[in-house]
């Protein structure tokens, strides 16, 4: 199959532009670059493509406006910089898209917005409504109120979750790198660009070396993880050099630019995409080998008999991680009992739950419909 041709068929794109591209080495926004990307996105819109833009740059723009030379470490200063910088970021996109008769909408999200099923569905409805009116949503993490415990971590992850949210066909991550290499090109002259790879390739983590620059939070490893998250809704991901001439238009034509991560499996259900994207896990369940095997090979529900240990404080209906005995997370899901109850029934057969607790809500600890494998 020609996976590049799949990009030409997708009608809904999430485009993420990183801080390294959007800022002039900390000296405010890259106005010339923003104009080029808006020009390209406007052409895609003319071709019938729906665009959702995930844009970094608010903190860096705020730093420039406030005259700060280095990124502060204090949370309140970062939030202040984000609040000031959002004004410049929105103005930059709004003024340029309006020249093409296109409206934009600012959408600021925190992980809390997507961890609540109700708010997740509300965000989904809002974004889809905006698209139906031809609006370009400009999406960013709500850095003015977010704290580390509810942070997405980077806009690559946010972009992947948005791709899941709206069931996008393609996720395009524009960066200051040509794509992903088989080794770090900064220290290995023989490094080769990976033109395309299945997103399930087990060697990707080892190859995703390098970290983020001073203005960004995401390195190549976060982009691999974002591609895997986006693949849960069937989206292909391209990581490409954002300064390449007409990069978005050339990708739409099927040209081989950057690295294409393509999905091999059928999309997960929307509910399981939501579960997989959870960053706020309320607890952990350590499973024995038998339970791990059943979950991986048979897709069954998790029963209490397969649980060896319980960590954290959680209540019924919250998301917990399922770990194997080495500590590797293999699944996550909505638990049917609270932490104290799981502590009492762990390792026990389902028919004993009622005699131990005095009641039984569900025979399963986590029902398979509320369980997603990772």
Which domains occur in the chain, in start order? Answer: 3-270 (3.40.1160.10), 281-373 (2.30.130.10)
The 10s digit of each residue's pLDDT in 286-304 is 999 999 999 988 888 999 9
Mean pLDDT of the residues in the chain: 86
Confidence class for position 169, pLDDT limits 50, 70, 90: very high
Q: Which residues contact 276 (CB under 8 A, 6 or more apart)?
A: 164, 229, 232, 268, 332, 372, 374
When pLDDT is averaged across residues 238-260 and rounded to a whole number, the result is: 95
- At 306 the pLDDT is 93
Confidence class for position 84, pLDDT limits 50, 70, 90: very high
| pLDDT of residue 218 exceeding 60 | no
When pLDDT is averaged across residues 145-151 and rounded to a whole number, the result is: 49
Q: Which residue from 23, 18, 9 is spatially nearest to 239, judged by alpha carbons? A: 18
């Amino acid at each position: 199959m020609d996976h590049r041709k799949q990009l030409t068929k997708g009608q809904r794109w999430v485009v993420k532009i990183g801080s390294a591209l959007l800022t002039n080495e900390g000296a405010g926004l890259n106005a010339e670059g923003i104009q080029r990307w808006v020009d390209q996105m406007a052409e895609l819109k003319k071709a019938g493509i729906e665009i959702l833009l995930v844009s970094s740059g608010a903190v860096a723009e705020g730093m420039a406006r406030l005259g700060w030379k280095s990124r502060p470490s204090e949370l309140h200063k970062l939030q202040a910089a984000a609040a000031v910088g959002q004004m410049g970021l929105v103005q930059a996109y709004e003024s340029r898209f309006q020249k093409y008769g296109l409206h934009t909408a600012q959408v600021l999200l925190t992980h809390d917005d997507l961890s609540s099923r109700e708010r997740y569905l509300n965000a989904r409805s809002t974004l889809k409504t905006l698209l139906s009116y031809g609006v370009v949503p400009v999406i960013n993490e709500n850095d003015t109120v977010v704290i580390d415990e509810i942070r997405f971590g980077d806009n690559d992850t946010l972009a992947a979750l948005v791709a899941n949210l709206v069931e996008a066909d393609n996720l395009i991550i524009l960066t200051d790198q040509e794509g992903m290499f088989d080794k770090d090109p900064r220290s290995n002259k023989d490094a080769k660009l990976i033109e395309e790879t299945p997103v399930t390739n087990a060697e990707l983590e080892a190859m995703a070396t390098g970290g983020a620059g001073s203005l960004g939070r995401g390195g190549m490893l976060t982009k691999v993880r974002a591609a895997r998250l986006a693949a849960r809704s069937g989206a292909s991901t391209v990581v490409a050099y954002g300064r390449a001439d007409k990069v978005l238009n050339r990708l739409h034509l099927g040209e081989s630019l950057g690295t294409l991560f393509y999905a091999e499996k059928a999309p997960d259900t929307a509910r399981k995409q939501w579960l997989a994207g959870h960053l706020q896990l309320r607890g952990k369940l350590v499973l024995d080998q038998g339970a791990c095997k059943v979950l991986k090979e048979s897709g069954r529900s998790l029963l209490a008999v397969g649980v060896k240990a319980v960590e954290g404080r959680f209540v019924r209906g919250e998301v917990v991680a399922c770990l194997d005995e080495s500590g590797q997370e293999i699944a996550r899901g909505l638990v049917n009992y609270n932490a104290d109850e799981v502590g009492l029934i762990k390792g026990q057969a389902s028919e004993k739950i009622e005699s131990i607790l005095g009641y039984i809500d569900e025979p399963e600890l986590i029902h398979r419909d509320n369980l997603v494998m990772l």
